[in-house]
């Protein structure tokens, strides 16, 4: 069982470069999420998709865009990377109606912006 798969695992960017983080889940979940994890700050929600075809801003959406490509895939794009976006990014999925929003996480993408 793959669960939630994120690619790439590591990435180094220069300021101003763009990139897309990919996420796919094979649990047939309706909802998907992108978080960033910074030391001492826990996880902060960037964007989420309650269901296929919908996306909404979370706590820290500035500088990011998302696409819910289909039910399985939810990508996060940095159009012009900044050093403040150096972080570990986690994708998660859940099935709110069945499991009261227990979330299943990918292994993360470690991003450094120089």
Partner 1 sequence: AQSVAQPEDQVNVAEGNPLTVKCTYSVSGNPYLFWYVQYPNRGLQFLLKYITGDNLVKGSYGFEAEFNKSQTSFHLKKPSALVSDSALYFCAGGAGGFKTIFGAGTRLFVKA
Binding site for partner 1 (CB under 8 A): 4, 31, 33, 35, 40-45, 48, 50, 56, 58, 90, 92, 96, 100-108
Q: Which is nearer to partner 1, 19 or 45 (CB)?
A: 45
Measure the CA–CA gap between 13 and 82, rounded to whole angstroms. 9
Nearer to partner 1, 73 or 95 (CB): 95
* Minimum CB distance to partner 1 smaller for 59 or for 79: 59
Q: Please, what is the minimum distance in Å from the beta carbon of residue 52 to partner 1?
A: 14
By C-alpha distance, which of 15, 6, 14, 18 is closest to 73?
A: 6
Strand bridging mode 109-113 / 10-13: parallel
**98: three-class secondary structure by DSSP:** helix
Q: Smallest distance from the beta carbon of 14 to partner 1, in angstroms?
A: 24
């Amino acid at each position: 069982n793959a669960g939630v798969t994120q690619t790439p695992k590591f990435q180094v960017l220069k300021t101003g470069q763009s990139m897309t983080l990919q996420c796919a889940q094979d649990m047939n979940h309706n909802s998907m999420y992108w978080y960033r994890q910074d030391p001492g700050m826990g996880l902060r929600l960037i964007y989420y998709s309650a269901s296929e075809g919908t996306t909404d801003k979370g706590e820290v959406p500035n500088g990011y865009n998302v696409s819910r490509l289909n039910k399985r895939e939810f990508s996060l794009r940095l159009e012009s990377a900044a050093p403040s976006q150096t972080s570990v990014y986690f994708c998660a999925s859940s099935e709110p109606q069945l499991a009261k929003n227990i979330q299943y996480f990918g292994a993360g993408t470690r991003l450094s912006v120089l």
